[in-house]
Chain A
Amino acid sequence: MKTVINEQQRRNFVGEVESKLHDKLAKCYQCGKCSAGCPVNFEMDYTPNQIIKMTELGMIDNVLNSKTIWLCVSCNTCSTRCPKGFEVAGIMDVLREVAARKGIKSKTEKEIQTFHEVFLDNVKSNGRIFELELVGKYKLKTKHLFRDMFLAPKMIEKGKLKMHSDKVSNISQIAKIFKDFE
């Protein structure tokens, strides 16, 4: 893999990541313990310790377009086991947020990214999650209309799928939170 790195861009990127992370990339000494314990490592294109080193080296496009950042489920096994106490799960949050703010849409893991976006939209409009609406909108957006549909009849029979949901009464306060922090 050949990557040309612009030193100024590298410094800016590292600075942005470290300030959001409240941690130093140089702490990581590449022991790989994070990657060994990661439950989803088998699906990733780069292991978590590779992502940390690539971020430090300024391989911005590779990192922000990686499958890894979206596949990470934030189980925190990595951060818990890191002998240096580095925020491994934290860096995945930071990189996802940086990617999303740059308008990067994951090509390989767009379902995961879309699910998070639809989920937050649901919180924004109702204050709480209305599961049926969440699933419906997610399915429309990803066009996976029939996947998992076989579960629906039994879930309805069991009373698991509610046909309505209570909204937050003070919805303007929720709107304000989104306005102030989105």
Chain B
Amino acid sequence: MKLAYYPGCSLKGTSFEYEVSLLKVLEALNIEIQEIPDWNCCGASAAHNLNHNLSVALPARNLAIAENSGFEEVLAPCAACSSRLKTAKYEMAADNILKKRITDSLEMPYNNSLNISNMLEFLLNIAGKEKIKSLVKKPLSGLKVASYYGCLLVRPPKVMQFDDAEKPVSMDELVALTDAVPVDYSYKTECCGAINSLSKPDVVMALTGKILYDMKEHGADLVVVACPLCHSNLDVRQREIERKYAEKIGLPVLFITELLGLSFGFSPKELAIDGHMVNADKVLEKIL
């Protein structure tokens, strides 16, 4: 099966650590992925906020290119991208008129046949737990890890068709494979404020702060995510949140692929963990 890779804009910019680490992990798992040729931005939140048809047409171009290149499966590691690709597929299946308008505009045939996976789905379904477990050379024993899912991996469930919308466990299962301890806490799927980080920073810091302090209270050493925007709010804004609420947090935020990579024996540098704003050295000292 030919596996397509849709990196999206964040993985080529502010969240480059996610791409570096997922490429390392998939290489170790011996899974070959190929970037969709000449991919474009999925339109993210802006498109569906302002123009519904455009929010379907922009991701549809990527799906059509992938399908016409002979791919059957698309990996979209960014939760927002995977949500937009899945939504485009869902909308085109439900609305034939819109689908025809889009294929006419793209001047490409398109059958809407691709399967789209977020990072967690891809790891669990394509690689599988056994294979991942077999590569764990450096068990992360005793490390307490809070998995943060946010919104778009699981909601809305009728479109995402992944895990439980209120109490997901898939990322915790991946964490457990590394021998780290999954931390149970209250706000696994509570929103971090997402795209309003620049336009409404006070609201985003209130939401993100609530999540981070709750993880801390439940004893987490570090946080794992599978979304660049969640990462950005939890990592980049963390110092400012500490200042605003005058209470230290000090929780490094890793992508799930970085945590797996560490357990596979890659160094933090190889996984670009030094690219994060919250320094992870002290926490990782315990296990490395």
Min CB gap B6→A, angstroms: 12
Cβ contacts under 8 Å, A138 to chain B: 198-199
CB atoms of A115 and B50 under 8 A apart: no
In the bound complex, how far is the Cα of B156 from the Cα of A77, in angstroms? 8
Q: How many chain A residues touch B (Cβ–Cβ < 8 Å)? A: 61
Majority secondary structure of chain A interface residues (helix, strand, loop or mixed): helix
Q: Which residues of A contact B51 (CB under 8 A)?
A: 97, 100, 120, 181-182
> Cβ of A20 < 8 Å from any Cβ of B?
yes
> In the complex, are the beta carbons of A154 and B194 less than 8 A apart?
no
A181 CB, min distance to chain B CBs, angstroms: 4
B49 touches A160 (CB 8 A): no
Report how many A-B pairs have Cβ atoms within 8 Å: 170
User: Please, could you name 29 A-B residue pairs with CB atoms under 8 Å apart, sorted by A?
Assistant: A74-B45, A75-B151, A75-B194, A80-B157, A89-B156, A94-B52, A96-B49, A112-B199, A115-B46, A115-B196, A119-B45, A120-B46, A120-B50, A123-B43, A123-B58, A127-B40, A127-B41, A138-B198, A138-B199, A158-B277, A159-B16, A161-B14, A165-B13, A169-B38, A173-B106, A176-B105, A177-B58, A180-B57, A181-B105
Interface residues of A (CB under 8 A from B): 20, 22, 39-40, 42-43, 71, 73-77, 79-80, 89, 93-94, 96-97, 100, 109, 111-112, 114-117, 119-120, 123, 126-129, 131, 135, 138, 142, 147-148, 151, 154-155, 158-162, 165-166, 168-170, 173-174, 176-178, 180-182
**Known A73-B191, A177-B61; 7 more pairs at CB < 8 Å:** A76-B156, A123-B43, A147-B201, A160-B275, A169-B38, A173-B61, A174-B61
Closest 10 CB pairs of A and B: A119-B46, A75-B191, A129-B9, A76-B155, A111-B199, A116-B46, A75-B151, A115-B199, A180-B105, A181-B53
